[in-house]
Amino acid sequence: MGKMAAAVSSVATLATEPGEDAFRKLFRFYRQSRPGTADLGGVIDFSAAQAAHGTGPGAHKVVRSQLSVSSVSDHDARRAGLQPVSKWQAYGLRGYPGFIFIPNPFLPGYQWHWVKQCLKLYSQKPNVCNLDKHMTKEETRDLWEQSKEFLRYKDMNKRRPRSLLEKLRWVTLGYHYNWDSKKYSADHYTPFPSDLAFLSEQVAAACGFQGFRAEAGILNYYRLDSTLGIHVDRSELDHSKPLLSFSFGQSAIFLLGGLKRDEAPTAMFMHSGDIMVMSGFSRLLNHAVPKVLPGPQGESLPCCLETPLPAVLPRDSVVEPCSVEDWQVCASYLETARVNMTVRQVLATDQDFPLEPVEENKRDFTAEGFCHLDDKNSQVKRARLNSDS
């Protein structure tokens, strides 16, 4: 309780900048926060034992969420690398109906597959990434092959140039999000990964959204100095379906606000393996990531990533084996990084993209409100997408 009071006091003493709203003030506070100090005393940790017993930071806001256990068989959960839904813990927040937080429901070792897919497979063409803006298709054809030796031996050469994987900031899947028009379109599409679609369908069904279709994904690749600006995910044409978020690697602070940015957000930790679901009222709320937290022992992996993926997998599993060599590359990358997968359904059942351009939303909605990553050393203005810094 003392740490939380100290954190509230620290926020209160932070001077408000001219024109700064409540969300931006908290974003700035956590961006400047120091791990291991009272600065983080007010951040909710759903994975801690206190959350389950109604104690700890923000406990008065935390409620249990009911899952649809019968909607996902234990067999299908295991196929996706998940524990039986009956063993999951799920939480919500008072004042945020439709928000569901599931602390790491993955089976031991199975996160390895999803990390490897983000770095080795999903980053490949024909998927789209931030590097495409400044490099040819040939130069970005296989980021993994061009980067793996750099990452495998990075500790032996601290002065080496960064690999292409380390310069990767985002990848889009399925219906590719257009960062300029802020829209999806029928003619900018590549097949959505079947394994990620299956994982997403199981999580959505467990949260009460049977029939969810994974149609678009945005993968964000964070370095320790990266942030995700305040934004709302409103470009999908069907907002009745949830937004799913999967986190891997180093922990981060997530801020969930209100419909307007003058509402102060709630801060929570996102650890490796954690899943968030934003649906209903919470589907169109402002949110952001102001800070990625370094490992407590410096460049180290979260404990849940130390367990290897089992050598023998279920015959019909969507999860594939991960070699020792491949995991060495992934582990080296994640020692100072975090990867986040967000999956969404773009169209309602039997809905098509409009022939005419959709009229732009009339509400005050600045360029900063769109999903992009910033690094502290970036010189790119917030109105533009940070592509390589």
Using CA atoms, how far apart are residues 243 and 236, in angstroms rounded to an integer? 10
Scan for tokens 């419909």, then name that residue.
259
Using CA atoms, how far apart are residues 107 and 322, in angstroms rounded to an integer? 15
Structure tokens given for 249: 């690697």
Helix pair 22-31, 2-13: axis angle to 10 deg: 110
Determine the distance from the C-alpha atom of residue 7 to the mean position of all C-alpha atoms in its chain, rounded to a whole number: 25
Residue 65's SS3 state is coil
> For the chain, how far is it from start to end, CA to CA, in angstroms?
39
Using CA atoms, how far apart are residues 79 and 72, in angstroms rounded to an integer? 11
Going by the annotation, the residues of the binding site are 231, 233, 287
Distances in whole angstroms, Cα of residue 280 to Cα of each of 199, 213, 241, 291, 354: 21, 17, 8, 26, 24
Going by the annotation, the residues of the binding site for Fe cation are 231, 233, 287
Closest-CA residue to 270 (of 118, 37, 112, 44): 44
**Cα 253–273–224 angle (5° rounding)?**
40
